[in-house]
Amino acid sequence: MAGTTTTDRGSWNSKLGFVLAAAGSAVGLGNIWAFPTKVATEGGAAYLLIYLLCTFAIGFPVMVAEITIGRKSGKNPVGAFKAISSSKFFPLVGLWGVICGVMILSFYTVVAGWAFGFAFEEIFYFLASSELLQNLFGGIGWESYSASMKGAADWLTDTGNGFKNAIIATVFMLGTIKIITAGVSDGIERATKAMMPLLIGIIVVMIIYVLLQPGSAEGVSIYLLPDFSKINAGLIFSAMGQAFFSLSLGMGALITYGSYLNKKENIPQAAAFVTLADVGIAFLAGLLIVPAMYLAQSQGININAGGSLASSTDLVFQILPALFHTIGGSVGMLLGVTFFLLLSIAALTSTISLLEVPVSYVIDEFEVQRKKAAWMVGLGILVVSITVAFFPALIGWFDYLFSTIGLPLGGFLICLFVGYVWKTDQALNEMEYGFAGIKQTLFSKVWPVFIKYICPAAILYNLISNFI
Ligand code: PFF
């Protein structure tokens, strides 16, 4: 049986590998699909400021805690709590994390599948409407050819088509499983190292294109000018949930990734890189999407629904494709394909981490080999995904229960564990390996205060005020 010793579990080849994999986990649909519309509808830069506060004051300390638990124990979220305490309760917190991972992955693959399908839709749409091709056809057979291309494009954009949703979600899940079976450094690290630079390149090129278009300026001001009147308890709760989701916190993804981290690495520094990468890309995604939305409006596309801005799903899967079609020709197609590839890549580096959590649990706790564990767990989750594919209304429910509530709840309990059961001093001892003299730094005075008091109080207050 494999899977129980440290060498069998695998490890990162380099710190950069860990940072890119963790940043890959963090940067996902949350940054590109969810974050920009939240900023645009919930007060522009006012939301951004609250979001930054949640990220740095709550998210970052919890991220350090998760990675440290992972590295100390060298285990999956359930095994980690068992390894470093005799508590009967906290392994259940780990199990809750595994369950959240499974459930988030089940709907995440469906949305990722939509994005992936739309990349092809842009190609079919181009093939159906290109004047160049029409001229080449010289009128012969063009009508029926164009109709069949248009049919394929329409099929790919029908997010209500359960059968189509299921097929593409399956493709996405199989890709994720395949990467996970290759292991930590040869699978996860290699894939994310290739995809993250590509993702950043695409986003920057697209921002430059959109900001150079005349209609986009209004979006820039909506995005960057604060409307402080919109700040209320609901907004703060939303920003906190978004921060947890976006940083992949509260379900043990970073306990798992931390468990493959070398002792010589500096945990607070690595966590800072990951946090900055996540925030940076969310900020860039907003700078791309909010102006693109107003560019669409300047082209006559309706960007409102029921008196306010359209939802993120409508925005990404209706308004932006309409914009790409309006731009038309090969430029429109290239923009469309590139944008949806960007979304798919971001989603894939996140689904990898979502699947790795339950897979590492099965590898460690049931002594199953990685390949077998990845296929078993991945195909099991696919069954739930296919159900979601046929009933997309489940996405909202699952998202609310397992991300909006589930992740902050997990984060709260992780703070209690590190603050009061394992103790922050022990955690600092673990950090000391890659950060000699940490106990003499300001970080070692401030971080425990956040983990013991500020983070749990803020999370609890938010959770309770949301229910009231
Ligand atoms: N951080 C991902 C995103 O922003 O899309 C979602 C996610 C991935 C959440 C992994 C939790 C997780 F463990």
Q: How far is the CA of 353 from the centre of ligand 1 (A)?
A: 8
Q: State residue 63's pLDDT score.
A: 98
Q: Answer yes or no: is the C-beta of 350 below 6 A from any ligand 1 atom.
A: yes
Q: Answer yes or no: is the C-beta of 30 below 6 A from any ligand 1 atom.
A: yes
Q: Answer yes or no: is the C-beta of 128 below 6 A from any ligand 1 atom.
A: no
Q: How far is the CA of 26 from the centre of ligand 1 (A)?
A: 5
CA pair distance 463, 468, nearest whole angstrom: 9
Does an H or E element contain 305, and which?
Answer: strand 304-305
Q: How far is the CA of 23 from the centre of ligand 1 (A)?
A: 10
Does an H or E element contain 304, and which?
Answer: strand 304-305
| Each residue's pLDDT expressed in tens, for the chain with a length of 468 residues | 343 444 468 999 999 999 999 999 999 999 999 999 889 888 889 999 999 999 999 999 999 999 999 999 999 999 999 999 999 999 999 999 999 999 999 999 999 999 999 999 999 999 998 888 888 887 788 889 999 999 999 999 999 999 999 999 999 999 999 999 999 999 999 999 999 999 999 999 999 999 999 999 999 998 999 889 988 888 888 899 999 999 999 999 999 999 999 999 999 999 999 999 999 999 999 999 999 999 999 999 999 887 788 888 888 999 999 999 999 889 999 999 999 999 999 999 999 999 999 999 999 999 999 999 999 999 999 999 999 999 999 999 999 999 999 999 999 999 999 999 999 999 999 999 999 999 999 999 999 999 999 999 999 998 998 777
Q: State residue 301's pLDDT score.
A: 93
Q: Answer yes or no: is the C-beta of 29 below 6 A from any ligand 1 atom.
A: yes
Query: How far is the first Cα of the chain from the last one, in angstroms, to the nearest whole number?
Result: 50
Q: Read out DSSP for 136-200?
A: HHTTSSHHHHHHHHHHHHHHHH-TT-HHHHHHHHHHHHHHHHHHHHT-IIIIIIHHHHHHHHHHH
| Residue pointed to by tokens 């983990």 | 451
Pairing of strands 304-305, 308-309: antiparallel
Ligand 1 pocket mutation pick from 54, 106, 354 by most atoms within 8 angstroms of CB: 354
Phi and psi of 153, rounded to 5°? -65, -45
Q: Answer yes or no: is the C-beta of 26 below 6 A from any ligand 1 atom.
A: yes
Q: Answer yes or no: is the C-beta of 424 below 6 A from any ligand 1 atom.
A: no
Phi and psi of 27, rounded to 5°? -80, 115
Closest by CA to 146, choosing from 165, 132, 158, 163, is 132
Q: Answer yes or no: is the C-beta of 251 below 6 A from any ligand 1 atom.
A: yes
Burial class (CB in 10 A: 0-12, 13-18, 19+), 158: middle
DSSP single-letter state for residue 56? I
Mark out the alpha helices in 299-423 (DSSP H runs). Answer: 312-314, 320-327, 329-366, 370-390, 394-398, 406-416
Q: How far is the CA of 99 from the centre of ligand 1 (A)?
A: 14
DSSP single-letter state for residue 417? I
Does an H or E element contain 458, and which?
Answer: helix 455-467
Give residues with Cβ within 8 angstroms of 139, minimum separation 6: none
Q: State residue 8's pLDDT score.
A: 66
Q: State residue 233's pLDDT score.
A: 85
Nearest atom (ligand 1) to Cα of 254: 13
Q: How far is the CA of 438 from the centre of ligand 1 (A)?
A: 29
| Residue pointed to by tokens 């949703």 | 165
- Set out the domains of the chain in order of their start, with CATH numbers: 6-129+155-467 (1.20.1740)
Q: State residue 2's pLDDT score.
A: 40
CA pair distance 289, 33, nearest whole angstrom: 9
Q: Answer yes or no: is the C-beta of 246 below 6 A from any ligand 1 atom.
A: yes
Looking at this protein, which amino acid is placed at residue 280?
G
| Residue pointed to by tokens 């916190």 | 249
Whole-angstrom CA distances from 369 to 10, 222, 342 are 12, 51, 32
CB distance 452 to 419 below 8 Å: yes
Report which protein residue has its CA nearest ligand 1's atom 9: 248
* Partner residues linked to 304 by β-bridges: 309
Q: What is the dihedral of CA 245, 193, 17, 283, to 10 degrees?
A: -40
